[in-house]
């Protein structure tokens, strides 16, 4: 009888050690005082249409096109007694070595050698170099207000001599309230 109890105890300890070594998933979050409804160009999921550009204008690596502004808007925010800086975090898909949004179009109609570069303002200066989640400052909710806007920019960027075709790039965005 003692032998059976010892074998049972040993087999239970093996089972528990196998369970304790199993992979785990951890959930994290944050409860905050401030949240706002956000949009880009007044849309929750938005498409920013860049103007057509000639491939000949993008033959030199590093060349850029005319800037296309896009607006991040927050609204329905809780009223605060002080200005609130809101960080806009971009997470790019298919990011290039230069930190731009790579072209996700494929096939015979896809442009090559070109990416989309996000800029910190609508005049095309201060490029945002994407490297994982990348937070950009500039959006400020003024004290006593419930909405605010900030204008970023997007432009074609020559990664290599460009060929004519379609371009599509994707980034997620999130807001952080500082």
pLDDT tens digit string along 46-63? 899 999 999 999 999 999
Report yes or no on 110 lying in a domain: yes
pLDDT digits (tens, 9 = 90+) for 52-101: 999 999 999 999 999 999 999 999 999 989 999 999 999 999 999 999 99
If we measure between CA atoms, which residue out of 66, 43, 41, 72 comes closest to residue 135? 72
Report yes or no on 115 lying in a domain: yes
Report yes or no on 16 lying in a domain: no
Report yes or no on 3 lying in a domain: no
CA–CA dist 69, 50 (Å, integer): 9
Report yes or no on 111 lying in a domain: yes
pLDDT of residue 45: 79
The number of distinct structural domains making up the chain is 1
Q: Which domain holds residue 153?
A: 36-177
Buried b (16+ CB within 10 A) or exposed e, 89-127: ebebeebbebbbbbbeeeeeebbebbbbbbbbebebeeb
> Considering Cα of 38, then 131, then 100, then 137, what sign does the dihedral take?
positive
Q: What is the CATH number of the domain that holds 54?
A: 2.60.40.1090
More confident site: 12 or 24: 24
* Cα separation values, 54 from 15, 38, 156, Å: 66, 34, 11
Looking from the CA of 124 toward its CB, the CA atoms found within 13 Å total 10
CA–CA dist 72, 21 (Å, integer): 45
CA–CA dist 136, 139 (Å, integer): 9
Report yes or no on 94 lying in a domain: yes
């Amino acid at each position: 009888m003692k032998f059976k109890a010892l074998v049972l105890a040993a087999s239970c300890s093996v089972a528990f050690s196998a369970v304790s070594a199993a992979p785990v998933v951890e959930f994290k979050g944050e409860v905050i005082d401030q949240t706002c409804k956000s949009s880009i160009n007044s849309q929750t999921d938005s498409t920013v249409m860049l103007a057509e550009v000639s491939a000949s204008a993008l033959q030199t690596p590093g060349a850029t096109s005319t800037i296309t502004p896009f607006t991040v808007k927050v609204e329905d925010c809780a009223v605060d007694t002080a200005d609130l800086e809101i960080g806009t975090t971009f997470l790019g898909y298919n990011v290039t070595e230069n930190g731009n949004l790579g072209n996700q179009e494929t096939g015979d109609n896809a442009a090559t050698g070109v990416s989309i570069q996000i800029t910190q303002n609508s005049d095309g200066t201060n490029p945002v170099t994407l490297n994982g989640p990348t937070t950009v400052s500039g959006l400020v909710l003024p004290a006593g207000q419930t909405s605010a806007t900030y204008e970023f920019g997007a432009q074609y960027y020559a990664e290599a001599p460009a060929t004519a075709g379609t371009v599509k790039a994707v980034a997620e965005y999130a807001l952080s309230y500082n």
